[in-house]
Amino acid sequence: MPSPDRKYEIILLGATGYTGKYCAEHIVKNLPTDLRWAVAGRSEVKLSTLINELESLNTDRLGPGVEIASLDPEDLDALVKKTKLLITTVGPFHKYGSPVVEACAGNGTHYVDSTGETPWVLEMIRKYHDIAQANRAIMIPQCGLESACSDIMVYLVVSLIRDKLKVGVKDVTATNSVLTSLPSGGTLATVFGIFDHYGIAQLIESSKPYALSPVPGHKDKLASLLTRLSGVRYVPDLGTLTTGLASGANISIVQRSWGLLERGDYYGQNFQYEEYASTRNSFTGFVTHLMITFGMAALAIPPVRWLAKMFVHQPGEGPTKESTAKDRVEFKAIATADTADSERATAICGFNGSAYDFTGVLMAEAAFSIVRDGDKTPASKIGGGVLTPATLGQAYVDRLRNAGVVLEASVLGR
């Protein structure tokens, strides 16, 4: 656990990157002015330019501290010892993230990141969960759009059913019903890099059901052959759904939350989670399913990845703020209570802004919850380790709502 006399409460590593800037802007505009925080990176010039930009957003607060640091182990050790918590957006994480996790776990420094790289997260759990827990460091990967929105939405609807119906949950089906943002260069570099870094066996292992869960899961229900081939299904109150590009990453985190929270008892021992993408009709759903399936298969071929890299944003770049001004992110879920009459509840997680702006909000509010909410979170009661956004519990839900995120749940028919 970080000592109370550390210089900072939060350091943001990678603040000059595309996603990092959104996170820094949210901190400046929305978090309390008494927060002790700093930005960190290799380039003093870039950091100074960023601070000048941030000062114009909120003239009532002092600028953040500046820490010059590389990803050298000695630099990272010195950096993380100065703060209670480190946020990092420096990816691809399989390439740059492991030394940061090692430093935080070993020094008892809390940690939040924006990765969506499930194979890498599995690797970090195996290497550093026990070390982090021994040092009471709360470490939360995949705390951006992947996978905090899905994870905290499921926690919210499960908690509602627990409170209102006094039972666990049989299943939750979710969809990203609205997602208009285009990917940044960093996101695309990560997709390409995963296929360069991990073998097929590792990718298959990390994609298995409950691969990240500390508790062995049960077999999920098997969809019909037609549904599996077409990727299309219809779910009442959610509409026509198809294969989602980020669904696998989100499912793995929700399943880890299931195992972390009372070893599956809080969500329910019969709990199952599925996630898809909304689509206009069966035909477009089928086409989307084929594009994702064959697109991912094609990326396993090195010449295809080399060619694709020539036509995308480079790391650090992404859609302009002007082009994302009308973007919206929205996830919806339907949950079925584990009762004889299968009562249902619905939940929504929504945000007006780009996916990367939303990621900045999700990470900043998670970090602030960890350093300020203390024993209010299930994560604190677990004692640290490589955890999930849902382990920040109701305190995190409340902070996100105050930051403008729509988080609602209700029992249908009541």
Evaluate if residue 385 carries a pLDDT over 90.
Answer: yes
Q: Which of 24-28, 285-289, 304-308, 312-316 has the lowest mean pLDDT?
A: 312-316
Instruction: Check residues 105 and 309 and name the one with the higher pLDDT.
Output: 105
- pLDDT digits over 12-64, tens only? 999 999 899 999 999 999 999 999 999 999 899 999 999 999 988 888 888 89
Confidence at residue 50, expressed as pLDDT on a 0 to 100 scale: 93
Helix (H, G, I), strand (E, B) or coil at 335: strand
What value does the mean pLDDT take over residues 289-303? 77
Report in angstroms the alpha-carbon separations of 278 from 153, 333, 380.
Answer: 17, 11, 36
Residue 1 has pLDDT above 80, yes or no: no
Taking 80 as the threshold, does the pLDDT of residue 309 lie above it? no
Identify the pLDDT of residue 125. Answer: 98
Average pLDDT over residues 338-342: 90
Q: How far apart are CA 193 and CA 125, in angstroms?
A: 20
Q: Where are the beta strands (DSSP E) in 30-131?
A: 37-41, 65-68, 83-88, 110-113
Nearest to 274 by CA among 221, 228, 313, 323: 221
Q: How many CB atoms lie within 10 A of CB 2?
A: 24
273-291 mean pLDDT:
92
Query: Predicted confidence band at 202 (pLDDT cuts at 50, 70, 90)?
Result: confident
CA nearest to 60, candidates 22, 38, 28? 28
Q: Phi and psi (nearest 5°) for 175?
A: -150, 145
Cα–Cα distance list, 6 to 11, 84, 296 (Å): 11, 6, 44
CA 130 to chain centre: 21
The residue with tokens 């071929």 is: 301
pLDDT band at 306 (very low <50, low <70, confident <90, very high): low
Higher pLDDT, 180 or 413: 413
Which tens digit of pLDDT belongs to each residue from 228-253?
888 899 999 999 999 888 889 999 99
Considering the entire predicted model, what is its pTM? 0.92
- Residue closest to 142 by CA, chosen among 182, 192, 91, 189: 91
> Is the predicted pLDDT of residue 168 greater than 90, yes or no?
yes
Task: Please provide the average confidence, as pLDDT, over all residues in the chain.
Answer: 90
pLDDT of residue 91: 86
**CB distance 63 to 51 below 8 Å:** yes
pLDDT in tens, 71-102: 999 999 999 999 999 999 998 899 999 999 99
Q: What per-residue confidence (pLDDT) applies to 241?
A: 94
